[in-house]
Chains A and B, each alone.
Chain A
């Protein structure tokens, strides 16, 4: 099975080459960050988390969304997801890997990362987050490898895998819940301190993750002889549509509480996001792009005749990913720091090395994903040929 990763056509190697080159660029920038310190990023004493932690948050969602194929397939015996499940698990593995790397590159003293395990602190949500993410990575690796290996041999997977699969369902929910608790339990940050943060995270995750999965499935359909199935893609599109509706509802609920109560510190963050606060408006254009994308995708995806067209589905999925990325990967984290506890408004914009490092981490994740999918595709092609 593994040898399939080393056999491929020209396109495969070119793709890996591109990811590899981006990783090298990221590594070079990271080398600079290691020697000069995090001062080369756009973060400051007021905005202490930026692009890295935002990407971490966004990608935990992508990882958790594997449950949207695992649950229907294993719990409801929805057969159409038979060829999609392994793609979801592969995406989860590479997403968790990227999450871990984004945490690592954000650390001021990455050499001391083992301190998290040497001095376990159950009162810290970050401790729990490392535990659940590590567990989720293991679960998806074990389940993915065992079930796929069994399928390749045409035999049922070992019986002990089944309980692990069932465990992976609540576990997926837990990774994004704990990630939301990381923020929502802080009395210092009104913007994050909302009980709906975890539900919102899950809803947006179940929109962005399956959208990415649809795009990946469409790419595989076009460029390989492996077809994850149009019915499965359509079912995912339905999931994306309703997840987007629920997410939009949660956002509006949040907006209502802030705007109707009219409490200044509830309102400030939303003002900063949508109209700008005291002349500071770096995120305003992004937020409106996000709002337009959300509205358009919700309306279009809810219309069956629209989401059934492949040429429309692909851009719609890309739009969903961008909308959720703006929400989580750009605005959510930074806005928690604006204004600061001392009333200061310090804006944040990532620097070139910071962006290069982030692109490098994504490239490494996609490198792993490409290899994983390559193995899957080769094995499937062989299975279908026999």
Chain B
């Protein structure tokens, strides 16, 4: 077989393959380009949080963090768990880290309450599946953002999130927001409408003003809560989060999935 013919066959074969698998090829190419931009984003900045499990055993610490967050973002207080909206909340250790417990783990460890929130993943599945780019990974600081005005409420992101970090507004949330005596909302953060998905935004609105996230600020005001939550930039080698990650034994949720969570836990 002549060299020419072989090259031709090879190229033709590639072309047929390419046509046949057009979809995955396009997706693959997209994934590569996206990956590139994600890496750039990370090199510029990536906000991260370190949760100290032991310090968070203090009930008050966990309670104030959730209360501060939900007040800051006008998160409704819906009693029915089917409709409940959560940005930061407690789960049992065994449910948060199913691969870290075994049948002989002590019960108090399995049942230990752990604060959970959106992991602002480096490779977020929710962003990958969103059909309208209503949720996206912000290049400047790695926050997984939500545009509540673009979200069509298809809930594909909720099927894709391996952490259960997203909540859907099954009903109008405004009736369930705790107002003060004058009927005012707890904060001027925009309230949501029914039919859209929401989640923790790492307090993007506070970071813009140079403040720490509401949950972090709140725990530091509680006795024994100092250092329970630490927030900082992973791209900055001198940041407090990097110092802790470099010195202590930390874990993050379901690492084997490859999502790259940016919330870490000091064991």
Residues from chain B with a CB closer than 8 A to the CB of A44 are 81-83, 170
- A128 near B168 with CB under 8 A, answer no
- A189 near B152 with CB under 8 A, answer no
- B129 near A186 with CB under 8 A, answer yes
Residues from chain A with a CB closer than 8 A to the CB of B95 are 342-344
* Distance to closest chain A CB from B217 (angstroms): 26
Tell me, yes or no, whether A315 is within 8 Å of chain B by CB: no
- A109 near B195 with CB under 8 A, answer yes
Quick one: given A112-B152, A341-B163, are A122 and B171 in contact (CB under 8 Å)? Answer: no
- B131 near A126 with CB under 8 A, answer yes
Tell me, yes or no, whether B96 is within 8 Å of chain A by CB: yes
Tell me, yes or no, whether B251 is within 8 Å of chain A by CB: no
A to B contact number (C-beta, < 8 Å):
146
Residues from chain A with a CB closer than 8 A to the CB of B133 are 119, 121
Tell me the count of chain B residues lying within 8 A, CB to CB, of chain A.
Answer: 52
- A108 near B196 with CB under 8 A, answer yes
Tell me, yes or no, whether A3 is within 8 Å of chain B by CB: no
Give the CA-CA distance A38 to B82 in the complex, in Å.
11
Choose from B91, B98, B154, B160 the contact partner of A106 (Cβ within 8 Å): B154
- A123 near B31 with CB under 8 A, answer yes
1/0 contact string of B155-178 vs chain A (CB within 8 Å): 110111111100111111000000
Residues from chain B with a CB closer than 8 A to the CB of A113 are 152
Task: Determine the interface band of chain A, counting residues with CB < 8 A from chain B.
Answer: 35 or more
Quick one: given A45-B83, A45-B84, A45-B167, are A124 and B156 in contact (CB under 8 Å)? Answer: yes
Taking CB atoms and an 8 Å cut-off, the chain B residues in 115-134 that contact chain A are: 116, 125, 128-134
Which of B2-10, B22-30, B41-49, B204-212 forms contacts with chain A?
B22-30
- B131 near A36 with CB under 8 A, answer no
- A341 near B162 with CB under 8 A, answer yes
Tell me, yes or no, whether A340 is within 8 Å of chain B by CB: yes
Give the CA-CA distance A381 to B92 in the complex, in Å.
69
- Name the residue of chain A whose CB is nearest to the CB of B193: A109
Give the CA-CA distance A116 to B160 in the complex, in Å.
18
1/0 contact string of A101-139 vs chain B (CB within 8 Å): 001001111101101101101111111101000000000
Tell me, yes or no, whether A156 is within 8 Å of chain B by CB: no
Tell me, yes or no, whether B258 is within 8 Å of chain A by CB: yes
- A341 near B171 with CB under 8 A, answer no
Give the CA-CA distance A212 to B191 in the complex, in Å.
47
Give the CA-CA distance A119 to B83 in the complex, in Å.
29
- Name the residue of chain A whose CB is nearest to the CB of B136: A121
Taking CB atoms and an 8 Å cut-off, the chain B residues in 213-267 that contact chain A are: 257-259
- A124 near B83 with CB under 8 A, answer no
- Name the residue of chain B whose CB is nearest to the CB of A126: B131
- A45 near B160 with CB under 8 A, answer no
Give the CA-CA distance A178 to B169 in the complex, in Å.
28
Quick one: given A107-B153, A123-B31, are A48 and B171 in contact (CB under 8 Å)? Answer: no
Give the CA-CA distance A296 to B115 in the complex, in Å.
51
Choose from A112, A174, A336 the contact partner of B159 (Cβ within 8 Å): A336
Give the CA-CA distance A106 to B155 in the complex, in Å.
9
* Distance to closest chain A CB from B91 (angstroms): 6
Give the CA-CA distance A103 to B170 in the complex, in Å.
16
- A108 near B194 with CB under 8 A, answer yes
- A37 near B172 with CB under 8 A, answer yes
Tell me, yes or no, whether B140 is within 8 Å of chain A by CB: no
* Distance to closest chain B CB from A348 (angstroms): 10
Tell me, yes or no, whether B179 is within 8 Å of chain A by CB: no
Choose from B26, B83, B150 the contact partner of A112 (Cβ within 8 Å): B150
Tell me, yes or no, whether A39 is within 8 Å of chain B by CB: yes
Tell me, yes or no, whether B67 is within 8 Å of chain A by CB: no
- A108 near B129 with CB under 8 A, answer no
- Name the residue of chain B whose CB is nearest to the CB of A174: B23
Tell me, yes or no, whether A278 is within 8 Å of chain B by CB: no
Residues from chain A with a CB closer than 8 A to the CB of B152 are 107-110, 112-113, 115-116
Tell me, yes or no, whether B34 is within 8 Å of chain A by CB: yes
* Distance to closest chain A CB from B10 (angstroms): 24
Quick one: given A49-B155, A107-B153, A188-B161, are A124 and B82 in contact (CB under 8 Å)? Answer: no
Tell me, yes or no, whether B112 is within 8 Å of chain A by CB: no
Give the CA-CA distance A326 to B130 in the complex, in Å.
28
1/0 contact string of A20-49 vs chain B (CB within 8 Å): 000000000000000011110001111011
- Name the residue of chain A whose CB is nearest to the CB of B165: A341
Give the CA-CA distance A126 to B163 in the complex, in Å.
21
- B169 near A108 with CB under 8 A, answer yes
- Name the residue of chain B whose CB is nearest to the CB of A127: B131
- B154 near A107 with CB under 8 A, answer yes
Choose from A38, A112, A128, A186 the contact partner of B170 (Cβ within 8 Å): A38
Give the CA-CA distance A107 to B170 in the complex, in Å.
11
- B159 near A36 with CB under 8 A, answer no
Residues from chain B with a CB closer than 8 A to the CB of A346 are 82
- B196 near A109 with CB under 8 A, answer yes
> Which 8 pairs show the lowest CB-CB distances between chains A and B?
A108-B153, A108-B195, A44-B82, A188-B162, A39-B170, A37-B194, A126-B131, A39-B171
Pick 7 A–B contacts, CB within 8 A, sort by A.
Answer: A37-B194, A38-B195, A45-B82, A123-B27, A126-B154, A188-B159, A341-B164
Identify 20 new A-B residue pairs, CB closer than 8 A, beyond the known A38-B168, A188-B125: A38-B195, A45-B82, A45-B84, A45-B167, A49-B155, A108-B152, A109-B152, A109-B193, A110-B152, A112-B150, A112-B151, A115-B134, A119-B132, A119-B150, A124-B156, A186-B129, A340-B164, A342-B163, A343-B98, A346-B82
Q: List residues of B whose CB falls within 8 A of some A CB.
A: 23, 26-27, 30-31, 34, 81-84, 91, 94-96, 98, 116, 125, 128-134, 150-156, 158-164, 167-172, 193-197, 257-259
